[in-house]
Structure 1
Amino acid sequence: MVSYDAIIIGAGFSGIYQLHSLRDKLKLNTLVIESGKDLGGTWYWNRYPGARCDSESHTYNFTFSKEIFENWSWPERYSKQDIILEYLNYVVEKLSLKKDMLFDNKVIKAHFDEKSNLWNIKTNKDKTFLCKYLISAVGCLSAANIPKINGLRKFKGKWYHTGKWPHTGVDFKNKRVAQIGVGSTGIQLAPEIAKSAKKLSIFQRSPNFSIPARNEIVNDKYKKKIKDNYQEIRDLIKSTPTGHAFHFSSQSTFDVSNEDRKKIYENGWQKGGLGFRGLFKDITTNLDANKTIVNFIKEKVETTMLNKHYAKVVTDFKYPFATRRPTLNTDYYETFNKDNVELIDISKDSIKEITETGISTIENNYEFDIIVFATGYDAITGALLSIDMVGKNNIKLSELWKNGPLTYLGLQIPGFPNFFTITGPGSPSVLTNVPMAIEQHVEFITDCISHMEKNKYSTIETNNDYSLKWRGVIDKAVEETLIPESKSSWLYGGNIEGKPKVFMPYPSGLPKYKKICEDIVLKNYEGFNFDKH
């Protein structure tokens, strides 16, 4: 059995930076274990047509190295999957990290041994390891959710999930295709399928808000401007609540006239991007303010779509705008104007079963050659709970979290010594431009482990009291917003049958969260217990 100082589970953005920080800064013997055949995390698996980041390229990257930032050029405003994967490989090669990564091994077991204070790790390839520090870098959106629909095994055609896309691609030419789901991936995927499919049938349970991305190729002048302003850009994205390159307006919705408000919305719509949700400061806290932006979006969609029935279905919003992360699109609504595209409203005619030849709803039968599940993930907790994790006193993570995830700061779990979670439940994670949340977490964990090594501590562990207090902080903060109006959201686990309906991320923004972490460190890591035994 091979022993390491630290083992990291996952080789995406989190695993890459954490390996560099522990190995190169702290000189710890560190290994990354990755279930995929290569690095990249979500960008290794999500290869579906149209897969693209919804953070602007120059913000969706590492900022810890000025040299890496300035030596890499992003070709578009929003980067495609293959370019992001190319970037991550560039970083790993630059830092010579790949030699300390083990691929094609999924961690299936992690048990803490109280006698040795070591974690015992096992993979699906029967490899076993020991380590003092165990760090989860499994990602928040990595456990694919394939809905439990009767009859899937009977289907004689091909079926795919967007989060586990074949590396060889899928040929839709002259095929009858069913797409189930209209979340972020479905909205990116549908226009691409429609380009070649004989027929695309989009099954929608509930509509999603989507803003134009306004993606474009960037010129050399723009690239130079980005590289010349590294520190300014870094400071900006570290200081905004969402980790993006825009601040939320200080102006309230009703501070301006109806005419001026509409102009502000129109300018934001034409500019595109996630900054649209920051046009007024009270959009996520005042329902009347929120209704003004919802009505604007409805008007824009209705003028875009020729089929007015379809337009009504895709704008039949059941929750306020921005209470779920808004999606970005390129020609999604225009896609419904094509003759080979149809919309099936399964809130009115639900799916009964999958048959040998297609899909049966309560009222209709449809025949397909291909079914695509754009049904998202068992988000935030799913990947961790897929591991047989046992902490002190034989406590199982699945048992501890049976009523919802319990963590302190989204960094540690009570009863699981020396185990850290990067962007775990209880941290800003998916409510931010994720690489910025990752950098903050990795740096906190690295500093904490450095503190332990210098002081010769054997374990660090949080407790139930502090974790419950942190749960209270999150609940109080989210109740001050309109987010509870959308409890069917995956942020609450609403997309997974039987999953506890608990709001999982920290909602008050990255700078506020970072300040809380810094204050805790100044109080000698308040809420964490260190031991030398």
Structure 2
Amino acid sequence: MAATALPQRSRPADDGVTRLDVIIVGGGFGGMYAVYKFNKLGLKLQAFESGNDVGGVWYWNRYPGARVDLPSIDYSYSFSPEIEQEWTWSEQYAAQPELLRYIDFVAKRLDLRRHFQFNTRVDSAVWDEDRQLWTVKTNRGDTFEAPFCIMATGPLSVPKKPEIEGLDRFKGRLMYAARWPHEPVDFAGKRVGVIGTGSTGIQIVQEVGRQAGELFVFQRTPSFTMPMRNVPIEPEYMAEVKRHYAGIREIARNSAIGGARPLSTRGFFTVTPGQRLALLEDSWNQGGLAMLGTFGDLMINEEANEHVAEFVRGKIGEVVTDPSTAESLKPRGYPIFARRPCLDTGYYETYNLPNVHLMDCLTDPILEATEKGIRTASGETELDILILATGYDGLTGALLAFDVVGRDGRTIQDKWKNGPRSHLGIMLEGFPNLFMTTGPNGPAALANIIRMSENDVDWIADAITHLRKNGLGSIEPSRKIEDDWMELVHALAKNSLINKAKTWWVGANVEGKPQGLTQFIGGFLKYREHCAAAAANGYAGHQIEPVRQAVEV
């Protein structure tokens, strides 16, 4: 059946409102693919991005050492064989400048930028029940209307300001890693402080430590980090990859993580202690996240997890020459991999440099920022530059940052007051025709975000096509299927060791935020199967309404 034209919801022609078929919020990987997909479907669309260009988190994250922690060949689009063949990666783990070049290449190749309005923030999105459309207002004072609204805002887009008193008093240069300036920063001869030692902080420390006059690392929670072992991609290998991209992508789509990294079903205690040690040594030498896939029960068997954690602590002790510093760098009190796994290139070695100082905030907590620097319980550290690598209000922060109002005036803040809930991390009961990519109740931060973005956009496109072909006006999950999904999410999460760490994965990094593991941890392949089942039989179980008559205003 041919697709029917979208019905016109009547308003006066001179009311200043721009009428569209689809509104897309966000210019990262998900938003870019959504623009491509819906343009190919022939829909009139407009995308909004608060930054000055496409790229999402990679547009903003320009800090020293910024680099992807998944292999470049995995962390790239799969929907276009032409782009796969035309683009060549230079490193196994691409640095931020190369990622931006790739994003620019895709945007130019597909002519995506003409569909974006940059430097624009969406202030509100309100559902009009009678006219079955979303009214979106921007910070520029413009109003747009469309039946469908897609939130491609991503899990990491709202930087989190640390709860440190007096930051506004600091007279030196204050810098957020997540909003890094576009021009180079000179650290030579400067006293630099870094607060935060997650993935971002680790990447900054290992770079700035070699440049700064002195570097002071304020560590509140030590992270487990493993060697990246990054290498250049040789032309012969890249040629092999290009010949076999189709198979590589198929492996990724049918894996638990959405990528080609090996995963074992081997239980930790099914092999002898000597064999376990050999396997751990091998994964350490391989680098990357190989260790995470070496045993299949590390996130459910606490004793097995502690064995692996102790192995990594031993490696820290081998590298860091000062015993006291090494001990402070060893994470304790939470399972390895329960926080986001980090990769590094010489992070622990950085602490052997005479100009680098670890400030252990577990034993000497930060009290406040001062005009001159940071005051801890033991005294004041004077700084010229203070870098905040304190992360994001993850998973839900972007959507909660503006007004999203669904049926009967219900807000998303209301719906999520006890934690995020949705169906598949894609749709929300009470919010017809509102879609999310990489939402908080899907695999979100636990799988390859580009594979997830492609999956979610394709699912959304199929749902919208179904409505158009059948003359239908709106779709949303019923309360029952949303409840059933959330029951599954919570049941799977119950036994995961991820719950034993206070991280942004469970909302613990933002004061007052509801806490709990709300991501689907059943793996990317199972998630895809659930998505397919939800679309089967004409989206059975969803609340679908016919197109209403146009309402004159």
| Fold shared per TM-score above 0.5 | yes
- Within the candidate set 35, 46, 59, 1:19 is matched to 35
SS at match of 2:148: strand
- Within the candidate set 419, 438, 450, 2:465 is matched to 450
Deviation at 1:205, TM superposition (A): 1.0
Equivalent positions of 1:189-200 (< 5 A) are 189-200=204-215
Deviation at 1:323, TM superposition (A): 1.7
Q: Is the 8 A contact 1:206 1:318 kept in 2?
A: no
Residue 518 of structure 2 aligns with which residue? 504
SS at match of 1:247: coil
Equivalent residue letter for 2:25: I
Residue 516 of structure 1 aligns with which residue? 530
- Within the candidate set 291, 295, 299, 2:306 is matched to 291
* CA distance, structure 2, for counterparts of residue 100 and residue 79 of structure 1: 27
Residue 319 of structure 2 aligns with which residue? 304
Equivalent residue letter for 1:152: L
Residue 493 of structure 1 aligns with which residue? 507
Residue 261 of structure 2 aligns with which residue? 246
Equivalent positions of 1:116-155 (< 5 A) are 116-155=131-170
Pairing 1:475–2:485 present: no
Residue 270 of structure 2 aligns with which residue? 255
Deviation at 1:402, TM superposition (A): 0.9
Pairing 1:5–2:38 present: no
Q: What 5-or-longer segments of structure 1 have no aligned partner?
A: none
Q: Is the 8 A contact 1:182 1:204 kept in 2?
A: yes
Deviation at 1:481, TM superposition (A): 2.2
Post-superposition CA distance 1:319-353 (Å, at most 9, x none)? 11112221111111000000011111112221111
Q: Is the 8 A contact 2:256 2:525 kept in 1?
A: yes
Q: Is the 8 A contact 1:162 1:374 kept in 2?
A: yes
Deviation at 1:527, TM superposition (A): 3.6
Residue 406 of structure 1 aligns with which residue? 421
Residue 345 of structure 2 aligns with which residue? 330
Pairing 1:113–2:128 present: yes
Q: Is the 8 A contact 1:209 1:326 kept in 2?
A: yes
SS at match of 1:458: strand
Residue 375 of structure 1 aligns with which residue? 390
SS at match of 1:249: coil
Post-superposition CA distance 1:424-478 (Å, at most 9, x none)? 1101121011101111111111111111110111111123332222221111101
Pairing 1:72–2:92 present: no
Q: Is the 8 A contact 1:112 1:390 kept in 2?
A: yes
Equivalent residue letter for 2:67: R
* CA distance, structure 2, for counterparts of residue 189 and residue 240 of structure 1: 31
Q: What 5-or-longer segments of structure 2 have no aligned partner?
A: 1-16, 549-553
* CA distance, structure 1, for counterparts of residue 188 and residue 483 of structure 2: 53
TM normalised by structure 1 equals 0.98
Post-superposition CA distance 1:53-102 (Å, at most 9, x none)? 00100000000111111111100010011111111111111111111111
SS at match of 1:519: helix
- Within the candidate set 422, 426, 446, 2:437 is matched to 422
Pairing 1:391–2:406 present: yes
Post-superposition CA distance 1:161-207 (Å, at most 9, x none)? 11111111322111111100000100111011111111111111111
CA RMSD, Structure 1 to Structure 2 (Å): 1.1
* CA distance, structure 2, for counterparts of residue 208 and residue 306 of structure 1: 18
TM normalised by structure 2 equals 0.94
SS at match of 2:538: coil
Post-superposition CA distance 1:137-180 (Å, at most 9, x none)? 11101100011211111111011111111111322111111100
Equivalent residue letter for 1:468: D
* CA distance, structure 2, for counterparts of residue 497 and residue 316 of structure 1: 22
- Within the candidate set 186, 192, 196, 1:181 is matched to 196
Equivalent residue letter for 1:106: R
SS at match of 1:524: helix
Equivalent residue letter for 2:324: H
